[in-house]
Structure 1
Amino acid sequence: MKKYIFTVCFILVSGFSALAQNRQPFKDTQLLKSFSFGVSYSKTVSLIFPSGVHSVDLGSGAVIADKFTGVENVLRVKANMKGFPETNLSVITKDGKYYSFYVSYQEEPVSLTYNIEGADNTGTTHPTTQAQSKAIPGTYLTASMNDVPIVFETVQMNEADLNFYSQEIAKRGDKISGIGMQKNKVRFDIEGIYIKDNVIFYSVNAKNTSNINYDIDFIKFYIRDKKQRQRTAIQETEVMPIFVYPENQNTIFGKSELNRVYCLEKFTIPDKKSLVIEMYEQNGGRVMTMEVKNKDIVKASPINFARK
């Protein structure tokens, strides 16, 4: 009996030992420092990258991020709620670099502009403007993929092509039923989804039936789970448009409407996730949200009109 118990214990110890050997921690050479900065509810922080921003992943809905219209390498970040617990932000740039950030809430951010140098993978942020009375943000060790090449699907159209197709799509009066929302006398919906090569064109319409102008702060696209279980982190992956038409009109005047075409690199999403499009009002509370399901994306209409 004792021999039997000894044998069982030996097998269990050996199994745990083998399991521990298969779960090795990261080596020091695999750990790179993450950037760290603070954001507030009333001020926007800008991150300047050495290359254009390809995609953004938000660890929490408490933080919102968006590119400046017409500018590829500047990401503006802002708090979506006050006093949120520390979260994270990941950015992949078009040159294949991966950047990791810790984001905390600061009523008065240390800096409003950070220059992220491409050759610096050590995790040190470089504030373009820095108040002397405030401490420089800290850095944290984290696993990073800065040295791993990231391959993107290349866009086969130039800016002139994107502009032409966007203009033609904006002229069409198509309408997709069941996608959109209406509140506070503002209607926000999808007029059409089109595909050309490896670019998907989303025709987004916003109609303001009130007498109060709607000043657009920004419109963002991100992918998230359709349903969130309790006590689980909300994972959002922001998708950055590669072209927007028209890009300079940011006010929906009273009793008028605005139609914009957003060009995104081709992608599909799992059935358990959805593409969310949100429009934020500058200095206002009329936030508009709509969800696009994968079944709607795969029904995108082919663009069969050619440039003259």
Structure 2
Amino acid sequence: MKSVKVLCYCVSLLFICFKSYSQEVFTKEVKVCLSKTTLLVFPANIKNADRGSASIEIGEINKVSNVLRIKASEENFIPTNVSVFTDDGHIYSVNVSYTSDIFKNIYDFNISESNQYADGGAALTQQRVRQIAGMIQYISATTRKPKFSNGDITIRLKGIYLAGGNLFFRFGIHNGSAIPFDVDFCKFFIADRTRSKRTSHMEKELLSTYSSLNLTNTVPPGEDREIVTVFDKFTIADGKTFHVEFFEKSGDRHLKLSIKGKHLLRCKHIDNLSN
């Protein structure tokens, strides 16, 4: 009789554990195409990922261990799925189907569809800021100006994005020379657009909260690099300009951009891309 009670207890415990474990499976519908990459963002590092068929390509992003990229490898494939296991014990089942073009390429499991950053004002953790900065390169550039060249080195503004009360500035640098371009340091400040000889020139320096420059500080000959720098949200008056300066290490090929207030006001909200 005692053994029967023990057996019943074990079966009940197993059922409870199975039920609890099964609740850790999350699902999402995802569209992919041939020409663009779709990103899945998870709240924990990816432990393993498995695709249902060879009709899609999957892979992790270098130095971003919680983001999985998906892309179609053929047109009009039969809908399939991707199973993702994260190191916090959760399982994600992603149903993947084909479309000729996608208008949304980032799906975030951190945020439910009913809990979006509606106005870009919700606070972001430093880890989340780094994640968004790493994903911005997969978002279509919103502008190609202003730009500046010095000695076959060209820098251009590729976009300004708003998320969680943070402004993400995306810069593209092209090295058209035969010598590597090494960035020593950057300077960011707000100054009057025009100044009189009779008045002193006041500058207000801004400190970034994050920059991918530490990961990408060298642009090899003939190559392009993107740098994302993040600031707390700010605006500037019509008579002022936001200045960006990149200084070359052991060289004089310094780069600079002048960004007007209208560029800031045209920033793209990217919170709605994260679900």
* TM-score normalised by the chain length of structure 1: 0.48
Give the residue type in structure 1 aligned to 2:172.
N
> How big is each residue's C-alpha offset from its partner over 1:237-286, in whole Å with a ceiling of 9 and x where there is no partner?
11111011252321111111210111100000000001000110111111
Contact 1:155 1:199 in 2 (8 A): no
For 1:15-94, what aligned pairs fall within 5 Å after superposition?
Answer: none
Q: 4+ residue runs of structure 1 moved beyond 6 angstroms?
A: none
Contact 2:168 2:229 in 1 (8 A): yes
User: In structure 2, how many angstroms separate the alpha carbons of the residues matched to 1:248 and 1:177?
Assistant: 23
> How big is each residue's C-alpha offset from its partner over 1:199-245, in whole Å with a ceiling of 9 and x where there is no partner?
01000111101011111111221100001101322211111110112
How far is the alpha carbon of 1:171 from its aligned partner?
2.3
User: In structure 2, how many angstroms separate the alpha carbons of the residues matched to 1:204 and 1:171?
Assistant: 14
Q: Give the CA RMSD over aligned residues.
A: 1.7
> How big is each residue's C-alpha offset from its partner over 1:60-90, in whole Å with a ceiling of 9 and x where there is no partner?
xxxxxxxxxxxxxxxxxxxxxxxxxxxxxxx
Give the residue type in structure 1 aligned to 2:219.
I
Structure 2 SS opposite 1:217: strand
* Residue 220 in structure 1 maps to residue 187 in structure 2: yes
Q: Which runs of no fewer than 5 residues in structure 1 stay unpaired?
A: 1-153
Contact 1:226 1:274 in 2 (8 A): yes
Q: Which residue of 2 aligns with 1:262?
A: 229
Q: Which runs of no fewer than 5 residues in structure 2 stay unpaired?
A: 1-120
* Residue 210 in structure 1 maps to residue 156 in structure 2: no
Q: Which residue of 2 aligns with 1:288?
A: 255
Q: Which residue of 2 aligns with 1:191?
A: 158
| 1:232–1:193 CA distance, 2 compared to 1 (3 A) | same
Structure 2 SS opposite 1:296: helix
User: In structure 2, how many angstroms separate the alpha carbons of the residues matched to 1:272 and 1:155?
Assistant: 30
Contact 2:216 2:227 in 1 (8 A): no
> How big is each residue's C-alpha offset from its partner over 1:17-52, in whole Å with a ceiling of 9 and x where there is no partner?
xxxxxxxxxxxxxxxxxxxxxxxxxxxxxxxxxxxx
Identity percentage over the alignment? 23
| 1:186–1:169 CA distance, 2 compared to 1 (3 A) | same
How far is the alpha carbon of 1:176 from its aligned partner?
1.3
Give the residue type in structure 1 aligned to 2:273.
F
> How big is each residue's C-alpha offset from its partner over 1:124-174, in whole Å with a ceiling of 9 and x where there is no partner?
xxxxxxxxxxxxxxxxxxxxxxxxxxxxxx981111210111111122341
